[in-house]
A and B are shown apart, each in its own frame.
Chain A
Amino acid sequence: MTSFTPYTYFLCPCTDTSTSTRNLGDSPSAESEENSDDERTFDPRAARSNYSLYPLEHLLYCEDCHQIRCPRCVLDEIVTWYCPNCLFEVPSSTVKSEGNRCTRSCFQCPICVAPLSVSSLEAPPEGLGAELASGQNGPFVLNCAYCMWSSKEIEIQFDKPNGIFAQLAKIKNGGEPIITAKDRRKDREERGKRHFSGSSAAEEYQESEAPITLDPNERLDPESQFSNLKAFYQTQMAESSPVSALGFTGDYGYGSPGALSRIMGLYTGGSFADKKSKSKSGTMREARDALEGLQIDPLSSSEAITKLSTEGWESTASCAQRHEQTTHTPFISDLRPIAYLLRTKRSKRCKTCRHILSKPESKVQTTRFRIRLVALNYIPSIIIKPLQPTLLTASTLLTPLKPVQFLLTFKNPLFDAVKVTLATPAKTPGRFPTKVTVLCPQFEVGANTDVWDEALRDNNTKSSLSGEKRRTKAEASEGQHQAEAGKVWERGRNWVSVVVEVVPPSLRIDGSEWLKSEEMKRDGEEVRDGEDVVEIPVFVRVEWEGEAGGEESGLGGGGKDKEVREKRELAYWCVLGLGKVALD
């Protein structure tokens, strides 16, 4: 906990967090009313701030709106679906019909989520002519090289080494075949026929080849239970509700006026439904057996209880394992291999102007982007360093009430020089205010030109940048550790370092009663989580003269006077996390 890495977070302007950041239940105190004018400081510890602060690397930049865009204010569009295991692209139509899992042979181990591989249960051919033998043959299993789980444990074997997904869909745990939905539908229709036309249909049924007899008490897998239930209630709906005026019953019959009045009747206690429609609608019954989708909860069955008592805790699946499964799996023996979830490549659009901010190459194997407007290329990055290099043995914690100086290095990614203006509150908001002084709140950062440009320019004009002498590393180490107000600490080709002085607060609360602010009294006596971190809100304003229009022509070199230069401005809040304060 003692180690702390300084961080910089940027506030996305999409949410105006400075409004109504009071906690629920807080009475509007005098202080918050005072703050409610235009010159509000941003409170990095406010409850809502967490949701709009991002590291610079997570942000995008819209060139048309000239604004920072965070993950909350972009629209995602799926470019491709692909399987992370076999890297095959899956067409979105297949995703719609087959679901969002790989339908080839990619599976994860249900025990440890490592990828499963298909292997033959038979030893590979050996001896003379082994090369001529056509590969491995039969029965195949899925096995995990990491935890040695194999689908043999749930008694599932495959005939072919490919198309495992389709094969697995037909086998239950234990090796019995799953009666497919198609077969069930056939059986249902047969039963329906018999029900309506008596014995003649039954005879016909006898004649039809390979009749599947379904056990009314069978244990259904969840998919077929759902399809059974759905089919059952559909027939119930069709029977109970009259055919609508248009002549069709629809999916659930909600569209028909008869059904609508029946539903209204349910809510209004029958007064709405007139006698006529009541007489028309028959009573609906519930599912009675497995054929109609009725299943007694298997956990409450004695079978499960005896299994639990004989095999014990070891046979039950862990929470994490059950979470990965799509169905209810209380025991290890119920677990099934997990087909790989498909992943997506997404392009991102600006919510306000609908321009694309990021678009990956649609091919799965490539990691390149066609368009990628990341904020890192538009906004000066801020790096925090302590000015006095701390000894390795010294604690990394800040001493309360002792001024510390930090070096903020602004690095300009733009091809134009920018003018940066910093603003901080004198005291940070919160219970333990830190005193902040930026020694040089206004400075200019050079353009991100070619590395050689500077070397060439140095010969001609020595001090091109506002007459300020560049502080060399040697000079800095000569003991010139006194930072001067209003002066830049160090300057480079496209970067500038300035000094910020901070007086960390004392985290002592047990002062005398009159010293405590109203807020302190209300919030109690403890230092809450995160309150010992010195976080400084900084308002950064960046001004530069860019080329007019969206078209960029190279590095902005030659025809400067011909092109129309346009003044640009960007302003945003940042939060600098400087360090932790020691408890005294």
Chain B
Amino acid sequence: MSSKRASTMPAPPKPPTSLASSLTIAEHASLTGTHLITLGSNTVVHPRAKFSSAHAPITVGSNCIICERSSIGFQSEASPNERQGVVIQNDVVIEVGAVVEAKTVGEGTVIEVQAKIGKGAVLGKHCKIGPQCEIVEGETVPDFTVVYGNGMRRLDNSGVEDLKLKMVARQIEVLKRLIPSNPAKFQ
């Protein structure tokens, strides 16, 4: 690290954060912006995950997994009814490279690799947004919806949500051991 030239720019101001004590957040995660960023307990944030609270606050529940190069937070000015910003409920998995500008992401939802959730969209509980699928701005996706392929949709009636939640919990257990956490950097 010492061989690298340090940036002459002054470090940008850190956003206000509220981090749970059992949070696992990698040192190379990036938290920017001016609004409050709340990260819940047992949540895992991979290196190079981007949170941007420049326009509205971000709230992430407990037991979530936020993967590399995913980008969370509004990228443009929030409208009056979007003041509470991005709210991600418990047990949500956001995969590599996904862009989430949703108002709400329901419990147990999985957002797959490079999926895009438009600004102000509302995702229901236990949804799955397939790889590279897109949800347009302001759309409401009902509970248990699976979006896959070329924008195809179906309702998942398999009823194995509890099992999936258990699998997410196990995944978090493993990731906690693998990712060195450094919450102090962001406080």
A-side residues, CB < 8 A to B, are 111-112, 121, 123, 141, 143, 146-150, 152-153, 314
Extra inter-chain contacts (5) besides given A123-B163, A143-B158, CB under 8 Å:
A146-B130, A147-B148, A148-B128, A148-B146, A153-B157
Interface string of B146-166 (1 = CB under 8 A from A): 101100101111111001001
Q: Decide: B148 and A146 in contact? CB cutoff 8 A.
A: yes
Contact of B158 among A146, A149, A314 (CB under 8 A): A149
A1 to B110, CA, bound (A): 39
Q: Decide: B163 and A148 in contact? CB cutoff 8 A.
A: no
Q: Decide: B158 and A150 in contact? CB cutoff 8 A.
A: yes
Contact of B148 among A112, A121, A123, A143 (CB under 8 A): A112
Known contacts A121-B163, A123-B166, A147-B130; is-contact A112 B152 (Cβ 8 Å): yes
Contact of A147 among B146, B159, B166 (CB under 8 A): B146
Chain A residue numbers with a CB within 8 Å of B149 are 112, 147
Closest chain A residue, CB of each to CB of B131: A146
Q: Decide: B160 and A152 in contact? CB cutoff 8 A.
A: yes
Looking at the assembled complex, report how far the CB atom of A143 sits from the nearest CB atom of chain B, in whole angstroms. Answer: 7
Chain A residue numbers with a CB within 8 Å of B159 are 152
Q: Decide: B160 and A150 in contact? CB cutoff 8 A.
A: yes
Q: Decide: B166 and A148 in contact? CB cutoff 8 A.
A: no
User: Could you list 18 examples of A-B contacts with CB < 8 Å?
Assistant: A111-B154, A112-B148, A112-B149, A112-B152, A121-B160, A123-B166, A141-B158, A143-B158, A146-B130, A147-B130, A147-B149, A148-B128, A148-B146, A148-B156, A148-B158, A149-B156, A149-B158, A150-B160
A153 to B148, CA, bound (A): 18
Chain B residue numbers with a CB within 8 Å of A141 are 158
Chain B residue numbers with a CB within 8 Å of A314 are 154-155
Looking at the assembled complex, report how far the CB atom of B150 sits from the nearest CB atom of chain A, in whole angstroms. Answer: 11
Closest chain A residue, CB of each to CB of B149: A112
A146 to B154, CA, bound (A): 12
Q: For residues 139 through 187 of chain B, which have their beta carbon under 8 Å from a beta carbon of chain A?
A: 146, 148-149, 152, 154-160, 163, 166
Closest chain A residue, CB of each to CB of B162: A123
Name the residue among A141, A143, A150 with the largest chain B CB count within 10 angstroms: A150
A123 to B163, CA, bound (A): 6
Chain A residue numbers with a CB within 8 Å of B160 are 121, 143, 150, 152
Chain B residue numbers with a CB within 8 Å of A111 are 154
Name the residue among B128, B152, B160, B166 with the largest chain A CB count within 10 angstroms: B160
Looking at the assembled complex, report how far the CB atom of B133 sits from the nearest CB atom of chain A, in whole angstroms. Answer: 11
A143 to B157, CA, bound (A): 12
Give the top 7 A-B pairs by smallest Cβ distance, nearest first: A150-B158, A147-B148, A148-B156, A152-B158, A148-B146, A153-B157, A123-B166
Closest chain B residue, CB of each to CB of A332: B154
Chain B residue numbers with a CB within 8 Å of A123 are 163, 166
Q: Decide: A153 and B158 in contact? CB cutoff 8 A.
A: yes
Closest chain B residue, CB of each to CB of A123: B166
Q: For residues 38 through 55 of chain B, which have their beta carbon under 8 Å from a beta carbon of chain A?
A: none
Looking at the assembled complex, report how far the CB atom of A559 sits from the nearest CB atom of chain B, in whole angstroms. Answer: 62
Looking at the assembled complex, report how far the CB atom of B123 sits from the nearest CB atom of chain A, in whole angstroms. Answer: 15
A147 to B129, CA, bound (A): 9
Chain A residue numbers with a CB within 8 Å of B152 are 112, 147
Name the residue among A121, A123, A147 with the largest chain B CB count within 10 angstroms: A147
Looking at the assembled complex, report how far the CB atom of A554 sits from the nearest CB atom of chain B, in whole angstroms. Answer: 52
A112 to B146, CA, bound (A): 12
A305 to B84, CA, bound (A): 47
Closest chain A residue, CB of each to CB of B126: A148
Chain A residue numbers with a CB within 8 Å of B130 are 146-147
A112 to B156, CA, bound (A): 13
Chain A residue numbers with a CB within 8 Å of B163 are 121, 123
A148 to B156, CA, bound (A): 7
Interface string of B112-149 (1 = CB under 8 A from A): 00000000000000001010000000000000001011
Looking at the assembled complex, report how far the CB atom of B120 sits from the nearest CB atom of chain A, in whole angstroms. Answer: 25
Closest chain B residue, CB of each to CB of A333: B157
Looking at the assembled complex, report how far the CB atom of A125 sits from the nearest CB atom of chain B, in whole angstroms. Answer: 12
Chain B residue numbers with a CB within 8 Å of A147 are 130, 146, 148-149, 152, 154
Looking at the assembled complex, report how far the CB atom of A330 sits from the nearest CB atom of chain B, in whole angstroms. Answer: 17
Closest chain A residue, CB of each to CB of B112: A146
Closest chain A residue, CB of each to CB of B145: A148
A111 to B130, CA, bound (A): 14
Closest chain A residue, CB of each to CB of B157: A153
Chain A residue numbers with a CB within 8 Å of B157 are 153
Chain B residue numbers with a CB within 8 Å of A143 are 158, 160
Chain B residue numbers with a CB within 8 Å of A149 are 154, 156, 158
A136 to B154, CA, bound (A): 29
Chain A residue numbers with a CB within 8 Å of B158 are 141, 143, 148-150, 152-153
Closest chain A residue, CB of each to CB of B127: A148
Closest chain B residue, CB of each to CB of A111: B154
Looking at the assembled complex, report how far the CB atom of B93 sits from the nearest CB atom of chain A, in whole angstroms. Answer: 13
Name the residue among B156, B158, B159 with the largest chain A CB count within 10 angstroms: B158
Closest chain A residue, CB of each to CB of B110: A148
A458 to B157, CA, bound (A): 75
Chain A residue numbers with a CB within 8 Å of B146 are 147-148
Looking at the assembled complex, report how far the CB atom of B172 sits from the nearest CB atom of chain A, in whole angstroms. Answer: 14
A111 to B149, CA, bound (A): 11
A121 to B160, CA, bound (A): 8
Closest chain A residue, CB of each to CB of B158: A150
Looking at the assembled complex, report how far the CB atom of B92 sits from the nearest CB atom of chain A, in whole angstroms. Answer: 16
Looking at the assembled complex, report how far the CB atom of B154 sits from the nearest CB atom of chain A, in whole angstroms. Answer: 6
A111 to B159, CA, bound (A): 17
A149 to B149, CA, bound (A): 13
A152 to B157, CA, bound (A): 8
Closest chain A residue, CB of each to CB of B144: A148
Closest chain A residue, CB of each to CB of B163: A123
Looking at the assembled complex, report how far the CB atom of A117 sits from the nearest CB atom of chain B, in whole angstroms. Answer: 13
Chain B residue numbers with a CB within 8 Å of A150 are 158, 160
A121 to B162, CA, bound (A): 10
Chain A residue numbers with a CB within 8 Å of B154 are 111, 147, 149, 314
Looking at the assembled complex, report how far the CB atom of A368 sits from the nearest CB atom of chain B, in whole angstroms. Answer: 34
Chain B residue numbers with a CB within 8 Å of A153 are 157-158
A314 to B158, CA, bound (A): 16
Looking at the assembled complex, report how far the CB atom of B25 sits from the nearest CB atom of chain A, in whole angstroms. Answer: 26
A152 to B159, CA, bound (A): 8
Chain A residue numbers with a CB within 8 Å of B128 are 148
A123 to B170, CA, bound (A): 11
A314 to B146, CA, bound (A): 13
Closest chain B residue, CB of each to CB of A120: B163
Looking at the assembled complex, report how far the CB atom of B155 sits from the nearest CB atom of chain A, in whole angstroms. Answer: 8
Looking at the assembled complex, report how far the CB atom of B152 sits from the nearest CB atom of chain A, in whole angstroms. Answer: 7
